[in-house]
Structure 1
Amino acid sequence: MPASPLLFTLLSLLSLVQADVVTRFQDVPECMEFFYKGKVPEWGDAASDAAHICQRFTNRYHFATLYDTKHRIAVYSAYRFQPSDGGGREKRWFVEPQLVNPSWQAEMKDGYWLGKDNPGVFLGERQALNEDYTHSGFDRGHLNPNGHHAVPSRNATFTLTNVVPQNRKMNQDAWRIHEEQLTGLFRAQCSEAYVLVGAIPSEDNWIVKNNVKRVNIPDYLWKAYCCVDNNGRPVKSGAATARNTEQNLVEKISLGELGEFFQQFTNQPVGELFYNNCRA
């Protein structure tokens, strides 16, 4: 007997809820919790090569990533700050199975074992792989930093869809210091902190493997945050940009100035990154 329309609809909805890569972040209510008052930025959202990933690990969502499958780097990751309790320094690097085949499992998986489970299948058509970074001269630079989370969310940040090729000096010095400064600010002044952190791709600077352009080396990194009190009212906001070079300098700016910065790279209106620009 063929399935009834109602049963088909229920099965389709169940499949959607379990999916990791979705058409819109709004399709998964749990994924929307990483955006202040459910406001998803318009920045980068209209690109045909963008994949919306609700980052699933240990059968729950930990943050959201808009991923550029053409450049094989994230446009941004969105998360809520958690005080870290240590641990969670992964030796594994995860990949997103559903960027290989939409029917595959709805949870990030160690790229090594996903390859072993699917011999002969190339995993890197729409995402970066661990071997792309090996001997590249660049760090696997977290966008959503592991230090802004408790376990297991801390472990979940070790997915290559949350990573960009980052200048080693910048990653290990100025950008690291900035992340630590934000940790202190979030702990002291925020009941909850909503954060967006992303990258601006370069026009033609890539990690090249076997004469193939594999991973775009971004020109800039950027970060934006919205702090709220116990009643969910904004109390502080800010942003920062940094050139992905030996210059090793993070420039702290306002959300409005970050919007002006973005406008250099698009002919379209940038729009709000946070609901009401994180104003009370």
Structure 2
Amino acid sequence: MNVSLLHLVFLLLLSSVCFFALSEVVGNNFSKCKEFFLNTAPPDFTPPWGVSVKPICQCIWDDNDKEMYLYATLYSTTWKIPVYSAYVFRESKSIGRCDVWYIEPQLDGDTEPCMRPKGYGTNIGTNQAVNRDYEKSGYDKGHLYPVLHTDNHLSMLATSTLTNAAPQNPDFNRNAWLRHEEAVIEDLESCDEAAYVVTGVVPDTKTIPNKKVTVSKYYWRATCCLKNSQYTGKGYYGPDNNGKVEELTIKDLQNKLSGCKKKRLFFEISGDSDVCY
């Protein structure tokens, strides 16, 4: 199956301001977690033929046994990796990391609405990745919504679901991509209010050794920040030819993802900066 950039066509709603906006599979929409997209308008993603995707409102049970929605993910049950995760960046805090990797029972037919530990359920793994898929694979579990960008304990826990991770080259994950995540923190902390972020992957044509989980060839991120009463956006893409993360305009990011300059953009470009439309 060819999963080249030409297949990754994002048709974003022009009515949205930017395109952005533990866990629940929500049919064909993000009705319970649209607050993670600015103007509550998620992007429209057109998957390649034969590729299935499921929107997930990522939730976890709080101390009072209430469902807490913490971000949104579009997940491919065919590739068994996320297409993107969308979240609101408020501020980054120093939170201890706990890598207890969760799965999504609903993806494999269970009625449980929120993420659970890996041992939960009997048919888990049919439509999603599990921990054993990554064992001795040579790849890291690369977060789309990273722990570094969370601001509380529940959000930290909720990022460690395998629906929020894709196989990532360890050297890139632990060096260039990590430095990029740190730089994004510095940039977004200067916003006047909370910022909207979406992070996604471009799948490769190969899988990790188990022949089940598709490798992520590229990672990308787009941010939308309110400064001086105007939303501005930035795009990021990597690894480039030098193994680094490239900062680029939203227009150029869109062109990379769509492979077609005639596709509708999710940002209106003005001057030297990207102005969220």
TM surpasses 0.5: yes
Distance 1:149 1:242, change over 3 A: same
Q: CA contact under 8 A between 1:224 and 1:240: conserved in structure 2?
A: yes
Unaligned ranges ≥5, structure 1: 1-17
Deviation at 1:36, TM superposition (A): 1.0
What is residue 136 of structure 1 aligned with on the other side? 137
Partner of 2:243: 248
Q: Give the C-alpha shift of residue 228 in structure 1.
A: 1.6
- The alignment yields a C-alpha RMSD, in angstroms, of 2.7
Equivalent-residue separation in structure 2 for 1:188 and 1:267 (angstroms): 31
Query: In the TM superposition, what whole-angstrom CA distance separates every residue of 1:36-56 from its partner, at most 9, and x where no partner exists?
Result: 111211234687500000000
CA distance in 1, matches of 2:262, 2:159: 30
Which secondary structure does the structure 2 equivalent of 1:85 belong to?
A: coil
Give secondary structure in 2 for the equivalent of 1:200: strand
Which residue in the other structure is 2:276 paired with? Answer: 279
- Deviation track 1:194-236 (CA, whole Å, cap 9, x = no partner) reads 0010001112x11122xxx111011111000100258xx4342
Paired residues for 1:101-250 under 5 Å:
101=109, 103-112=110-119, 114=120, 118=121, 121-150=122-151, 151-203=153-205, 205-209=206-210, 213-229=211-227, 233-243=229-239, 247-250=242-245
Structure-2 residue corresponding to 1:51: 54
Conserved 8 A contact 1:199-1:222: yes
Name the CA distance, whole Å, in 1 between partners of 2:275 and 2:25. 28
Counterpart AA for 1:22: V
Count residues in correspondence: 245
Is 1:95 aligned with 2:103?
A: yes
Structure-1 separation of matches of 2:42 and 2:140: 28
Partner of 1:83: 91
Letter in 1 for 2:276: R
1:73 aligned partner: 81
Which runs of 5 or more structure 2 residues have no equivalent in the other structure?
A: 1-21, 62-66
Are the aligned partners of 1:221 and 1:244 in contact in 2 as well (CA < 8 Å)?
no
Find the aligned partners of 2:92 and 2:161 in 1 and give their Cα distance: 18
2:207 touches 2:215 (CA, 8 Å); kept in 1? yes
1:107-165 deviations in Å (ceiling 9; x for gaps): 001113x1xxx3xx231111100111111111111011111012211111000000000
Is the Cα contact below 8 Å between 1:219 and 1:244 reproduced in 2?
Answer: no
Aligned-residue offset at 1:67: 0.3
Instruction: Quickly say closer, same or farther: Cα 1:19–1:134, change in 2 above 3 A.
Output: closer
Equivalent-residue separation in structure 1 for 2:262 and 2:81 (angstroms): 21
The aligned runs of 1:14-25 (5 Å cut-off) are 20-25=24-29
Higher share in helix:
1
Distance 1:260 1:19, change over 3 A: closer
**SS at 1:180 equivalent:** helix
Name the residue aligned to 1:60: 68
Deviation at 1:267, TM superposition (A): 11
Q: 1:84–1:197: structure 2 CA closer, same or farther, 3 Å change rule?
A: same
1:260 alignment partner in structure 2: 255
Larger-Rg structure? 1
In structure 2, what is the Cα distance between the partners aligned to 1:221 and 1:22?
Answer: 25
Indicate the percent of aligned positions where both proteins have the same amino acid: 32
Q: Deviations over 1:46-72 (max 9, x none)?
A: 875000000001221000000011010
Closer, same or farther: CA 19–240 of 1 in aligned 2, 3 Å: closer
Once residues 155 and 257 of structure 1 are traced to their aligned partners in structure 2, the CA distance between those partners, rounded to angstroms, is: 33
Equivalents in 2 of 1:226, 1:46: separation in Å? 27
Q: Any idea what SS the aligned residue of 1:197 has?
A: strand
- Give the match's secondary structure for 1:104: coil
Q: 1:106 to 1:183 in 2, by over 3 A?
A: same
Conserved 8 A contact 1:169-1:248 = no
TM-score (norm 1): 0.80
Alpha-carbon contact 1:76-1:199 (below 8 Å) kept: yes
Higher strand share: 2
1:278 is displaced (CA, Å) by 4.6
